[in-house]
Amino acid sequence: MTFSTWRELYQSEAQAVWSLWVVPAAFLLYLAANRRLPLSSVEPRAAAFMRAYVLVFAVETMLDPLAGGPLLRWLGLAGGMLPTVVMVGFVLLGDFRVFFLVLALLAFARGTPHLPGVAARAALWTLVVPVVAVACEATLRALVGETPSQSIWLVYELSFVVMALVWRRVIVPARTPSDRLRLRGYLRTVLVYVTVYYALWALADVLIMVGGLDAGWALRIVPNQLYYAFYLPFVYALFVSPRYAEASSAPQTSR
């Protein structure tokens, strides 16, 4: 299998689907082999939640590139608006998982982990960036006329960078209990990670749209891996890391 351009490689199933499965699949195998809840973590009361969170979203992460590409084609549903609807739905799920994690851990830290309410608030926050992006794109088109088809995603990516930075600098410090400095540090680190992959996507799109550089497609491979493959292992590894561990919990038996 050979590719004459980075764009061909980027758009191939080898990169867009199967390369994104390697780490999540290995992570799921790790979780299956290590069924005990961690004895210590940044928020011991959330240990069971975190395990469920990474299990559910690991499956979602693997389904995302499959459903948006070969699965619809195998089912004969690749035409029309359905692929776009599926893609946008998974984009929103990918953003939701960030807000849900942050808000859930803050709720556990305050002793009020009502997860349905947390999920509802996370869903509302998930809608902020798409609404802003659509409004900005409409304004841009009104001012300059037709814009490149990829421009809406660049606006989305830049908007999420701003959102993640606001959460890191303002919302997380304001909502974290004053005695939970390690939790605050953990959540701010997670938001830095999210900022990095969105910023890299934005930079890649600038190189592609403004510079016409094929290397932009090569750069796009990096945030794809950060988003699909490494996000969940990253947040889980930090969750149980001694650097952020707040306290120890009682030993847990295998489930």
Using alpha carbons only, give the angle 65, 71, 72 rounded to the nearest 5 degrees.
105
Q: Where are the domains of the chain?
A: 11-34+42-246
What does the pLDDT read at residue 220? Answer: 97
pTM higher than 0.85, yes or no? yes
Report the pLDDT value the prediction gives residue 247, as an integer from 0 to 100.
53
pLDDT of residue 1: 62
Per-residue pLDDT, 151: 87
Please list the residues that pair with 40 across neighbouring strands.
248
Amino acid code (one letter) for 144: V
CB 37 within 8 A of CB 48: yes
What per-residue confidence (pLDDT) applies to 16?
92
Q: Do 236 and 54 meet the contact criterion of CB atoms below 8 Å apart?
A: yes
What is the reported pLDDT for 144?
A: 81
In the chain, alpha helices (H)? 6-11, 13-16, 22-33, 47-66, 72-74, 82-109, 115-144, 151-166, 172-175, 181-209, 215-224, 231-239
Confidence at residue 145, expressed as pLDDT on a 0 to 100 scale = 77
Per-residue pLDDT of the chain (255 residues; tens, 9 = 90+): 678 899 999 999 999 999 999 999 999 999 999 989 888 899 999 999 999 999 999 999 999 999 877 877 777 776 777 777 888 999 999 999 999 999 999 999 999 889 999 999 999 999 999 999 999 988 888 888 777 777 889 999 999 999 999 999 999 999 999 999 999 999 999 999 999 999 999 999 999 998 889 999 999 999 999 999 999 999 999 999 999 887 544 444 333
Measure the CA–CA gap between 89 and 174, rounded to whole angstroms. 30
Confidence (pLDDT) at 204: 97
- Round to whole Å and give the CA distance between 153 and 136: 11
| pLDDT, position 249 | 43
- What's the pLDDT at 84? 78
Specify which residues 198 forms β-bridges with: none
Residue 227: its pLDDT value, please? 97
